[in-house]
Structure 1
Amino acid sequence: MAKTLVPESKQGLMTFKNEVAQEMGVPFKEYNGDLTSKQCGSVGGEMVKRMVEAYEQNLK
Structure 2
Amino acid sequence: MDSYRNSDARPPIMQGSPPAMVPPRLDWDRPPWNRWAFQHIREILPTAEVWRGTGHRHRLE
TM class by shorter-chain length?
under 0.3
Using the size of structure 1 for normalisation, the TM-score is: 0.22
Name the structure with the higher helix share.
1
Structure with the bigger RCO (C-alpha within 8 Å, sep 6+) is 1
